[in-house]
Amino acid sequence: MFKVVVRSGVLYSAQDMLLYYPEQPSSSRLYVDSPTSYGLPYENVFLRSHDGTQLHAVFIRQPAHLITTAPTFVFFHGNAGNIGHRLPNAVLLYNCCNVNVLLVEYRGYGKSCGRPSEEGYQDFRCLN
């Protein structure tokens, strides 16, 4: 019984390391590819979460005559890498669907500060 309790405690303590891979591939915290490499107009956006953690996002906008009528697609990447790895998806959304694309980065990924955790999912609860 003691071994089961110890194993459960170890798994509970290590769950964030088992779920989140912000450094996969190894350069993901150092290098975030820019939409410029795909010829997309964009702006970097830095947001503050409810606890003050600085979070990074990239807003890829349609041309001036479309920006106000084009819907905005909010793109959350998965549990590894950074938003630069999702730029091919953003290019397709931008070109084929004619939408603005907001690529947001979780805490602890890419250029966002902090560490990934379950509580970090609350960072974007205001985006609805």
Q: Report pLDDT digits (tens) over 51-82.
A: 888 999 999 999 999 888 999 999 887 777 78
The whole-angstrom separation of Cα 63 and Cα 3 is 61
- Domain extent, residue 43, equals 2-124
* Number of structural domains in the chain: 1
Cα three-residue angle 27-82-86, rounded to 5 degrees: 120
pLDDT per residue over 88-112, tens digit each? 999 999 999 999 999 998 888 888 8
Model pTM? 0.77
Cβ neighbour number for residue 94 with a 10 Å cutoff: 23
